[in-house]
Structure 1
Amino acid sequence: MSVQANARPIIIKRKKVVGGGGHHGGAWKVAYADFVTAMMAFFMLMWLLNATTEQQRKGLSDYFSPTIPISRTSGGGDGNFGGSTVFSEDTLPQNGTGASAQRPTESQQARGDSGMSDEGDIAAQDEVFSSLEALLVGHGGESKVMENELRHVTTRLTDEGLVIELFSTEDAQLFEPRTNTPTALLRSLASLIAETSRTVSNGIAVEGHVAAEPIVLANNLTWDRSADQASVMRVLLEQSAIEPERIKRVTGHADRQPATARNPMSIRNNRLEVILLR
């Protein structure tokens, strides 16, 4: 009995063998990283499309697929161009055989640059427009009356230029109701805009907008009224010492571009836009 008590215990180990080779590798991590990178690139692309202008997008496109042989001032050798620049804007004026966008001929024969401003010119023009905005709004501190007038003015900077919008309100309108007769308010605003616009030489476009009619008419008079009101604004600007040559466009948009789309008949849609073009 004592011998049996002193015997060593028997321990049985069961080892589980798993087939398949153990470690499975990290290929899925590489695939996931590629997916995340692709999604980031996609969202950056969408952001760039939304945050850049047409000119900036064209510049980005040219950067990744350049069309210039070597540089802006060299054709790259003694071949067809003889080492000269491929841009006619640089060579034709020097050789006396053509014109540039800055000094065009009567037949507009320049064949090189499109004449679009580069980034430096755009920034400089934006700075000028910002100064004009400040100058226009700055008139509001002169008197109480002027502040009331500027309640009818909003400005915004677009790719086309500086848009100065004049709009009617319930208590003060730009034209006599349902006519093309300008009120004293519009005459004062036209004088103010002309005074500000005389500090630059940019071309000017005038656009007219009116509210929709409450009923459907066989003859839609909103086209004629918006065009006539834009023409009246043009005349007021010219009477305020704006050179007629600076007026590049007078347009009537009828009721097709309402400022308050939820209520096309709102008086807020009766407005004029004076655009200082780039």
Structure 2
Amino acid sequence: MAGGGGGAWKVAYADFVTAMMALFMVLWISAQDQEILIATSQYFQSPFKSPMEASSGVMPGTSGGGSDASQSETTPSSLTDMAMLNQLAREFYKLLDIDDTAKDVPVEVQVTNDGLRITVFDRTAQPLFRADTSEFTPWGNFVVQNLAWVLDRYPFRVRIDGHTATGFRSGNVDYSAWELSADRANATRRALQRYAVAGERIERVTGFADTVPLPNRGADDPANQRIELSMVVSEALRARR
């Protein structure tokens, strides 16, 4: 029979090409960041669930105050989004010239299942606000300017929460930690809008006083003096970009 061997060689060749493609995909995935490896593994284990855990902190062992009672309905739509968020978190540390492995860092960044959570601490050694006021220090202005840069260039909505430690006292009986935390959150909103962020991007501004201390810390711990910004990936904003 002419052309001996028939089409068997085509089947063998197709199997060889398929095996090479599979090898290429394995090598490509193995070369990716740890976050993508984790997400890929979790996807194949549970393909109908979110590819990442609810919170994936860039800084090991850190956690925000968790002011939101429920998670957002919006989640990153792809591994590309999650990788972008982790890269953005690292770049934000570089912008502020912060060593994210140091103890008592002034800013903590977490990747969550719907965007980023940035916690800015009002520490005694590096205060965000002037003592017992909602007026930013030069450092505070620098941080908010960089936050505005991030928000202006990426598809985020933002929620701003102000928190205090217990023990705040003012000379005015009508001005408590509730007013201070709300004023600081609003001062952050005003600064973000002044530097770059459109008002419609800001979804909520809330003052919690000393009612939501950080996990595993007492309400009087100075670390509770903080501003938390939940930067939520917006499907509508993503579609416009």
Instruction: Give your verdict on TM over 0.5.
Output: yes
| Candidates 223, 228, 231, aligned match of 1:273 | 228
The amino acid across from 1:203 in the alignment is R
Residue in structure 2 matched with residue 227 of structure 1 by the alignment: 182
TM-score, normalization: structure 2?
A: 0.58
Name the CA distance, whole Å, in 2 between partners of 1:139 and 1:179: 26
Q: Matches of residues 62-77 of structure 1 in structure 2 within 5 Å?
A: none
Residues 174 and 186 of structure 1 are in contact (CA less than 8 Å); yes or no, is this contact kept in structure 2? yes
- AA in 1 matched with 2:206: T
Pair 1:175-2:129 in alignment: yes
| Structure 2: gaps spanning 5 or more residues | 1-41, 50-72, 234-241
Which amino acid letter does the alignment assign opposite residue 191 of structure 1? Q
Measure the CA separation in 2 of the matches of 1:273 and 1:256: 14
1:203 pairs with 2:149: no
Matched, 1:138 2:94: yes
Q: Which residue number corresponds to residue 69 of structure 2?
A: none
Map of 1:129 onto structure 2: 85
- Give the match for residue 157 of structure 1: 111
Deviates more, 1:256-265 or 1:199-208: 256-265
Secondary structure at the counterpart of residue 156 of structure 2 = coil
Question: What's the offset of the Cα at 1:169?
Answer: 1.7
TM-score for both structures, normalised by structure 1: 0.51
1:253 and 2:208 correspond: yes
Cα deviation, residue 117, structure 1: 6.0
CA distance in 2, matches of 1:124, 1:253: 34
SS of residue paired to 2:188: helix
Instruction: Tell me the C-alpha RMSD between the 2 structures.
Output: 3.3
Return the alpha-carbon distance in structure 2 between the equivalents of residues 273 and 122 of structure 1.
25
Kept in 2, the 8 Å contact 1:191–1:237? The answer is: yes
- SS of residue matched to 1:121: coil
What residue identity is the alignment partner of 2:164?
V
Task: State the Cα deviation string for residues 78-133 of structure 1 (Å, max 9, x = none).
Answer: xxxxxxxxxxxxxxxxxxxxxxxxxxxxxxxxxxxxxx668x81533322211211
The percent identity for this pair of structures is 24
Match for residue 146 of structure 2 among 164, 167, 192: 192
Q: Secondary structure at the match of 1:187?
A: helix
| Structure in which a larger fraction of residues adopt strand | 2
Whose Rg is larger?
A: 1
| Residue identity opposite 1:186 in structure 2 | G
3-state secondary structure, aligned to 2:116: strand
5+ residue gaps, structure 1, are: 1-51, 61-115, 141-145
Structure 1 residues 223 and 117, CA gap change in structure 2 (3 angstroms): closer
In the TM superposition, residue 246 of structure 1 has moved relative to its aligned partner by 0.6
